[in-house]
Amino acid sequence: MARFRCPDCGYVYDEARGDPREGYAPGVAFAALPDSFVCPDCSVRDKADFVADEAPAHPIAAMPGTPPRA
Amino acid sequence: MKTFVVSDPQRGTIVYRDRKRHLWLASLFYPLVALSGVGLYWVAAAEWVLWIPVVSLYAGVSLLDHWVGADPNNPPEAVVPLLEADGYYRWLPMLTVPLHFAVLLALAAFVATHALSAAGVAVAALTAGLYSGLGINTAHELGHKKTEVERRLARIVLAVPVYGHFCVEHNRGHHRHVATPEDPASARMGESIYRFALREIPGGFRRGWASERERLARQGKSAWHLDNEILQSYLLSALLQGGLIAAGGLVMVPFLAIHNVFAWWQLTSANYVEHYGLLRQRAADGSYERCQPHHSWNADYVVSNLLIYHLERHSDHHAHPTRRYQSLRSFADLPTLPNGYFGMFLAAYVPPLWYALMDRRLLALPHIGGDLGRVNVDPAARARLERRYGGAASLAA
């Protein structure tokens, strides 16, 4: 189960958890999300913009509104 | 004054003091100015004093913006995580929520218990509506955040002006489609605020409802399920305003109607000035370029920004919608309004004045360079604007 991160706001789509509020059950693969998927938190990054998130996000890097470290 | 200290591996120790830290209390307590008219009424025993809070907001803040001027100071990027985590800033918008309820309830009680003329009822309703419009701004700050408590409070405060669809519509609709002809919440060049309102108010409602219906459909639920966050807010509105009519009598019906529409009108006004005429370019595949800093009008006036949680630092807000108000930054060389939002609202209400102030300013922006093809033009005004500005590429020179 992989994790994918919004490069603007730090939202993480964790395949193991899904995003039930958005209607994606635990276990739904990121690849299976519709192409119209936008970041549920900031809405200004699309599915294609998301990046693989290998390690759990550092608490500071995951601060809302904080751009990720280059 | 609190000092933030960060040790940055490249840049050494960074020290930042937020000079606005305590001034943000103005955003918290400003709704209470609405009640000053009632206080004056008791002292002066005259109805005309009820106009003072309405007039002082528009005229007073416009003048203060002119006199006090702009604030180009920004927090260093390295300090932003500390600012975002500071609970003090987080509490202020949350504490503003009950004040919006208090203002509506107090003005409703005043109207229900005093023998006012029709004009007196109307001005009390306008005053309440003005501050409930600020409630939409409070909901805007809260509704962009990631915590459930802030999002819930946004829906709760939206119940005051009966605008529960705002957060869904704004986050999922406006932010994605901003500065395109498809966005009902982005004004077009040559479109008066009055025509804009007729597109913005119903268009925003339809888009918000459709977005929430889609989310619920993905969960396998009907749009009328109680998990519909728009419905939750509307139900609270029904309780609140139904209760006021039951308790305050029929005078509450016109009072609340004027209050609601005038609160929506505040949002319409903000939407009108924030993106007037600005247009994202299309790529070869027809998709729009990402929203850039030059797709929002900004105003960096100290006073009005302190009243509306830095909303006028609008480009940074669109670049990073979840960023909190205390961290929003000002940038040089962005589209800039000649006064704060309150002054610009007044100008917008007189369309010839608005066009005189804004149309040349819009065409002179560096990325437009006088080219109407790079402007979001109202189709109904296109022929007139092309006659007037068609050969205006020299404007940018």
Chain A CB contacts of B318 under 8 Å are 44
Asked if pLDDT for residue B32 goes beyond 90, the answer is no
Asked if pLDDT for residue B135 goes beyond 80, the answer is yes
Q: Do B84 and A60 touch (CB under 8 A)?
A: no
Q: Is residue B250 within 8 Å of residue B331, measured between CB atoms? A: no
Angle at B34 between CA B29 and CA B36, to 5 degrees: 95
Residue A62 touches partner B, C-beta closer than 8 Å:
no
Percent of chain B with pLDDT over 90: 87
Asked if pLDDT for residue B341 goes beyond 90, the answer is yes
Residue of chain B with shortest Cα separation from A34:
B218
Average predicted confidence (pLDDT) for chain B: 94
Asked if pLDDT for residue B200 goes beyond 90, the answer is yes
Cα separation of B58 and B87, whole Å? 31
Chain A CB contacts of B296 under 8 Å are none
A3-5 and B3-8 strand pairing: unpaired
Question: What is the model's pLDDT at position A68?
Answer: 45
Q: Is residue B162 within 8 Å of residue B241, measured between CB atoms? A: yes
A12-14 and A3-5 strand pairing: antiparallel
Asked if pLDDT for residue B20 goes beyond 80, the answer is yes
By Cβ distance, the residue of A9, A24, A60 closest to B322 is A9
Q: CB count, 10 Å around CB of B10?
A: 5
Question: What is the model's pLDDT at position B47?
Answer: 93
Residue of chain B with shortest Cα separation from A65:
B323
Question: What is the model's pLDDT at position B33?
Answer: 85
pLDDT band with cut points at 50, 70 and 90 for residue B280: very high
Per-residue model confidence as pLDDT tens digits over B49-106: 999 999 888 899 999 999 999 988 899 988 999 999 999 999 999 999 999 999 999 9
The ipTM (two decimal places) reads: 0.87
By Cβ distance, the residue of A23, A43, A64 closest to B218 is A23
Asked if pLDDT for residue B197 goes beyond 50, the answer is yes
Residue in the block written with tokens 């009822």: B121
How much is the average pLDDT of B124-133? 96
Q: Do A64 and B145 touch (CB under 8 A)?
A: yes
Q: Do B215 and A23 touch (CB under 8 A)?
A: yes
pLDDT band with cut points at 50, 70 and 90 for residue B394: very low
Give me A1's structure tokens. 């189960």
Cα separation of A36 and A28, whole Å? 15
How much is the average pLDDT of B187-196? 98
Question: What is the model's pLDDT at position B199?
Answer: 98
Percent of chain B with pLDDT over 70: 98
Q: Do B324 and A43 touch (CB under 8 A)?
A: no
Q: Which of B23-32, B118-127, B191-200, B358-367 has the lowest mean pLDDT?
A: B23-32
As a 3-state breakdown, chain A gives helix, strand, coil percent values, each rounded to 5, of 15, 15, 70
pLDDT band with cut points at 50, 70 and 90 for residue B12: confident
Task: Break chain A into its structural domains and give their ranges.
Answer: 1-70
Q: Do B218 and A22 touch (CB under 8 A)?
A: yes
Strand order from edge to edge, sheet including A12-14: A12-14, A3-5, A51-52
Chain A CB contacts of B176 under 8 Å are 38, 43-44
Chain B CB contacts of A11 under 8 Å are 146
Name every residue whose Cβ is closer than 8 Å to that of residue B55 and which is 6 or more positions away in sequence.
Answer: none
Chain A CB contacts of B327 under 8 Å are 65
How much is the average pLDDT of B140-163? 97
Say which CATH class A1-70 falls into.
mainly beta
Q: Do B215 and A38 touch (CB under 8 A)?
A: no
Question: What is the model's pLDDT at position B390?
Answer: 81
Q: Do B146 and A63 touch (CB under 8 A)?
A: no
Q: Which of A64-68, B37-41, B371-375 has the lowest mean pLDDT?
A: A64-68
How much is the average pLDDT of B227-250? 98
Residue of chain B with shortest Cα separation from A19:
B219
Q: Do A65 and B80 touch (CB under 8 A)?
A: yes
Question: What is the model's pLDDT at position A70?
Answer: 37
Please list the residues that pair with B189 across neighbouring strands: B377
Cα separation of A52 and B116, whole Å? 64
Q: Closest Cα partner for A37 from A52, A23, A54?
A: A23
Cα separation of A42 and A36, whole Å? 14
Q: Which of B79-83, B106-110, B266-270, B276-280 has the lowest mean pLDDT?
A: B79-83
Asked if pLDDT for residue B264 goes beyond 70, the answer is yes
Q: Which of B206-215, B348-357, B369-378, B386-395 has the lowest mean pLDDT?
A: B386-395
pLDDT band with cut points at 50, 70 and 90 for residue B240: very high
Q: Which of B36-50, B73-87, B280-294, B383-397 has the lowest mean pLDDT?
A: B383-397
Asked if pLDDT for residue B284 goes beyond 50, the answer is yes
Question: What is the model's pLDDT at position B31?
Answer: 74
Residue B309 sits at φ, ψ, to 5 deg, of: 50, 50
Number of cross-chain residue pairs from A and B with Cβ atoms under 8 Å apart: 60
Chain B CB contacts of A13 under 8 Å are none
Q: Do A23 and B320 touch (CB under 8 A)?
A: no
- pLDDT (tens, 9 = 90+) of chain A, 70 residues, equals 899 999 999 999 999 999 999 999 999 999 999 999 999 999 999 999 999 987 655 554 444 554 444 3
Chain B CB contacts of A21 under 8 Å are 215
Chain A CB contacts of B222 under 8 Å are none
By Cβ distance, the residue of A20, A44, A63 closest to B176 is A44
How much is the average pLDDT of B147-164? 97
Give me B224's structure tokens. 């009328």
Q: Which of A55-69, B14-28, B276-290, B299-313 has the lowest mean pLDDT?
A: A55-69
Residue of chain B with shortest Cα separation from A10:
B322
Reduced to 3 states (helix: H, G, I; strand: E, B; else coil), residue B240 is helix
Q: Which of B30-39, B103-112, B132-141, B377-386 has the lowest mean pLDDT?
A: B30-39
pLDDT band with cut points at 50, 70 and 90 for residue B391: low
Please list the residues that pair with A5 across neighbouring strands: A12, A51
Q: Is residue B372 within 8 Å of residue B337, measured between CB atoms? A: no
